[in-house]
Amino acid sequence: MMNSTQKIAIITGGLSGIGRAVARRFAAEGMIVHIGARRGDDPTFERDLRQTLGATVSVRGLDVRDTDSVAAFVAKVVEEHGRVDVLVNAAGVYDEAPVTGHPDRLWDDTIDTNLTGTFKMIRAVLPGMLERKWGRIVNIASVAAHQGMANNAAYCASKAGLLGLGRCVSLEAAPHGVTCNSISPTWVETEMLQQFIEQDMQQTGQSRAEVRARYEASNPQGQLVQPDEIAGLAAFLASDAARAITMADHQVNAGSLW
């Protein structure tokens, strides 16, 4: 069993949205947090994160699509701390296109980032977790893993793939004290959702309040899910208390199908 009280965590895509909220929560709980993002080599992000989230949070450049980038990032964390205890795969992209005429570029980037990138991160950290007999892996999926939506083939396919990947990882890791779970949120009030609201305002001529109200009305609770709510669940799944919870997908859907 792991005997250190300070966990070492990697969060991909942690500069904004759900990933950043998870980083904030992990840091508040005393973890050392390493954020990896495509823009992570910009020193302004490091200064911002340390000022807002604390001195135990750092960021480096990471392209989860690239095997060498993944290997170098994980190796650096292991070099500094000797291990990786927790991995949260929050890096993701979203774009829309109908199946008819769907661009290869959009499909490839979505699958490579959301699904293959998650696989590569898990592949890199799992051997060490198995050796130490302790580890927590949390993949950020989506209700899109369960429900289809027109013009969203690449995104839905990538998120559904995370569920299958997680089951396989869970079964291989279970005898060694390592868990793998996913979280599938509905609309979460992130920077990405704000971009969607802006686009809808331009297309419909509606006010921000009117567009936001439509998103809120998409679930029976009538409220948007907050990033900190996802972070709270991720923190629990990364804890000792969640030892027996694995191979599960946890929908944070406020009662909605999407």
Please state, in angstroms and rounded to a whole number, the distance separating the CA atoms of residues 245 and 254: 21
In 23-142, beta strands by DSSP E: 32-37, 57-61, 86-89, 135-140
Please state, in angstroms and rounded to a whole number, the distance separating the CA atoms of residues 233 and 250: 9
Tell me which residue of 59, 78, 79, 75 sits closest to 67, measured CA to CA: 75
- The answer to whether the CB of 62 falls within 8 A of the CB of 69 is yes
The residues annotated as belonging to the active site are 155
Our CA angle for 159, 161, 167, nearest 5°, is 115
Please state, in angstroms and rounded to a whole number, the distance separating the CA atoms of residues 15 and 22: 10
3-state secondary structure 44-107: HHHHHHHHHHCCCEEEEECCCCCHHHHHHHHHHHHHHHCCCCEEEECCCCCCCECCCCCCHHHH
- The answer to whether the CB of 6 falls within 8 A of the CB of 30 is yes
Distance of CA 4 to the CA centre of its chain: 25
